[in-house]
Amino acid sequence: MTTSTTATAAGLLLGGQLHNSTSSDLARAREVIDRVVALGGNAVTATVSWHLVEPEEGVYDFSGVDPLVDMARERGLALTLLWFGAYKNAASTYAPRWVRADASRFPRAELGASSAGPGVFSRPGTPVLSVFSPELRAADRRAFEALTEHLASTGAAQADGGPLVMLQVENETGLLGAGRDHSAVANVAWAAQVPTTLTDWLAAHPDARGTAARLWREHGSRSAGTWAELFGEDAWAEETFMAAGFAAYCGELAAAGAERLDVTYYANAWLGPQPGQDLPGQYPSGGPVGGQVDVWRALAPALAFLGPDVYVDDVKTALAPYVRGDNALVVPESRLAVGNLFWAVGSGAVAFNVFGVDDVRTDGQLAAAYRLLGGAGEIIRAAQREGRVRPVLLESGESTVVELGGLRWTLRGSMDVLKAMFLDAGVAVRTEAAEAPSESVGDALVASPADTRAMAVLVDLGGDELLAVGQGLMFEVEGADGSLVEIDDAWEGAYVDGAWVAGRNLNGDERLNLLPPDSLGAVRLRVLRRG
Write the DSSP assignment of 278-336 as a string of letters: -SBTTB-BTSS-GGGHHHHHHH-TT--EEEEEE-SS-HHHHHGGG-BTTB--EEEEE-S
Q: Name the amino acid, one letter, at 379.
A: I
pTM (predicted TM-score): 0.94
Give the 3-state DSSP-derived string for 104-169, with helices as H, strands as E and coil as C.
CCCCECCCCCCCCCCCCCCCCCCCCECCCCHHHHHHHHHHHHHHHHHHHHCCCEHHHCCCEEEEEE
Name the residue among 250, 93, 105, 317 with its Cα closest to residue 242.
Answer: 250
Strand order in the sheet with 399-404: 399-404, 407-413, 473-479
Least confident piece of the model among 74-78, 119-123, 265-269, 311-315: 119-123
Angle of helix 365-375 relative to helix 377-386, nearest 10 degrees?
A: 70
- Report strand pairing: 399-404 vs 407-413: antiparallel
Lowest mean pLDDT among 220-229, 319-328, 396-405, 509-518: 509-518
In sequence order, the β-bridge partners of residue 476 are: 410
- For residues 439-473, one letter each, b for 16 or more C-beta atoms within 10 angstroms of the residue's C-beta and e for the rest, the string is bbeeebeeebebbbbbbbbbbbbeebebbbbbbbb
Other beta carbons within 10 angstroms of residue 110's beta carbon come to 18
| E strands in 345-484 | 351-355, 389-394, 399-404, 407-413, 454-462, 465-471, 473-479
- pLDDT tens-place string over residues 142-182: 999 999 999 999 999 999 999 999 999 999 999 999 999 99
Which tens digit of pLDDT belongs to each residue from 70-91?
999 999 999 999 999 999 999 9
Phi, psi (rounded to 5 degrees) for 379: -65, -40
3-class DSSP state of 217: helix
Average pLDDT over residues 208-230: 98
Rounded CA-CA distance 167/148 in Å is 9
The predicted model gives 35-53 an average pLDDT of 98
d(CA 263, CA 166): 5
Dist CA 80 CA 17 (whole Å):
9
- The set of residues, in sequence order, having a beta carbon less than 8 Å from that of 416 and lying 6+ positions away, is 396, 397, 399
Is the pLDDT reported for residue 492 higher than 80?
yes
Does residue 1 register a pLDDT over 70? no
Distance (Å, rounded) from C-alpha 412 to C-alpha 474? Answer: 5
Terminus-to-terminus CA distance in the chain, angstroms? 50
